Copies of this chain bind each other. A is one copy, B any other.
Amino acid sequence: MENLATPALVVDAAVLRANIERLAAYARGHRLRVRPHTKTHKSVYVASLQVAAGANALTAAKAGEAEIMATVCEDILVAYPPVDPERCAQIAALATHRTVRVALDSITAAQRMAQAAAAARSRVGVLVDVDVGMGRTGVQTPEEALRLAEVIDRDPSLHLDGIMYYPGHVWSPPGEQDEALRKVATRLEEVIGLWTKGGLKAGIVSGGSTPTAYQSHLIPQTTEIRPGTYVFNDMNTVHGGFCTIDDCAARIICTVVSTAIPGQFVIDGGTKTFTSDRCIPKPESGYGHIIEYPEARVFALSEEHGQVDARECSRAPKVGERVTVIPNHICPCVNLLDSFWVAEPGNPLRRTAVDARGKLT
């Protein structure tokens, strides 16, 4: 570890496997399928562990990610509206040899996907994106959901597979989510009721997020969940009350590069390592948590500098010392890296690629 070029992301394989297995066991117990969102790790290695633990489908946000993940799994959901022509063409091509589904919320998106699928002579499954309270994407009413479902159902290049929802607005502690999730269930019930009347079936009802993952059974319509962050965890999930520091599988090793300013030290990771994402449940907590200096606060980031307030620390770190940082939001951090290190108990560190890094389209 002392010879790693820093900053370096090290993943504890034992913690990673435990995170994956814990979710898999919950899902088995509640007869839910798991379709992990691979945007968190963008890694064929991690996706393979998820598939081995029972995930029989994967989620990606972009077509480029889907292409990579299709190398380890037969069934891929692009949980994102495929609208630009290049993205539609890529997805349609992938659907010639894989089960590919997309989520969308507009007739335009459905038509563009259908045109691309027709041109590629493939058929693409569609989930209608229903907004359940986040207000980001998703049709707003059961009537709109029905109208869009009918358009999709009629198109020979598309297949109406069901509904996608994302409860991304729910960040309350696990024990306090019941009311918010009950509202989600009511909305889904209305949509499914209208579809049933109209002769349409929602075979898949795809939900899930890491904060709500273990309460997914409270939304009984759900057939599968799509958590992402749970594989690694981060300060968002720690401060949200969804896990402990010990459940954080991904940690960034940094070197202290300067102690010139009194009461402060500087580590060799900034926004190009940690991103400038604040912690969602605790925005003023700084930019990550330093294991060796729990009282320290990473109060400012430049691109390659992390400025740490050390005034509350019982000792002052020295230039050259190594520290271990858990970022606020691990997903965009991984995307900044070409590779990360896997720490397998009893073995030397092994480097593995971030295969879908930077797949923006």
Q: Within 8 Å of chain B (Cβ to Cβ): is A137?
A: yes
Interface of A is mostly: loop
A207 within 8 A of B: no
Query: Chain A 315-342, CB within 8 Å of chain B: the 1/0 string?
Result: 0001110000000000110011110000
Interface string of A255-271 (1 = CB under 8 A from B): 11111111010101101
Contact code string A80-94 (vs B, CB < 8 Å = 1, else 0): 110111110010000
Point out the residues of chain B lying under 8 angstroms from A106, CB to CB.
258-260, 319
Instruction: Say yes or no: is A36 at the interface (Cβ < 8 Å to chain B).
Output: no
User: Which residue in chain B gives the minimum CB-CB distance to A228?
Assistant: B303
Q: Assess the A319–B272 pair: CB atoms within 8 A.
A: no
The reply to whether B138 and A260 contact each other, CB–CB distance below 8 Å, is yes
Please report the total number of A residues contacting B with Cβ < 8 Å.
71
Q: Is there an interface contact between A260 and B83, defined as CB atoms closer than 8 Å? A: no
Query: A261, B140: Cβ atoms under 8 Å?
Result: yes
In the complex, the answer to whether A271 meets B277 with C-beta atoms within 8 Å is yes
A84-117 contact mask (Cβ, 8 Å, vs B): 1 or 0? 1111001000000000000001101100100000
Are the C-beta atoms of B305 and A136 separated by less than 8 Å? Answer: yes
Contact B335 A81 (CB under 8 A): no
Binds B, one of A2-10, A157-165, A219-227: A2-10
- List residues of chain B with CB within 8 A of the CB of A35: none
In chain A, positions 13-69 with a C-beta closer than 8 Å to chain B are 39, 61-62
Residues of B within 8 A of A62 (CB): 304
Question: Which residues from chain B contact A109 at a C-beta distance below 8 Å?
Answer: 257-258, 319-320
Q: Which chain B residue has the least Cβ–Cβ distance from A106?
A: B319
A193 at the interface (CB under 8 A from B): no
User: Do the beta carbons of B360 and A302 come within 8 Å of each other?
Assistant: no
A361 at the interface (CB under 8 A from B): yes
Q: Does A174 contact B (CB under 8 A)?
A: no
B332 and A272 contacting across the interface, CB-CB below 8 Å: yes
The answer to whether A247 has its CB under 8 Å from any CB of chain B is no
A 141-179 binary contact with B (CB < 8 Å = 1; else 0):
000100000000000000000000000100000000000
Nearest chain B residue, comparing its CB with the CB of A4: B86
CB contact under 8 A between A276 and B275, given known A131-B260, A256-B83:
yes
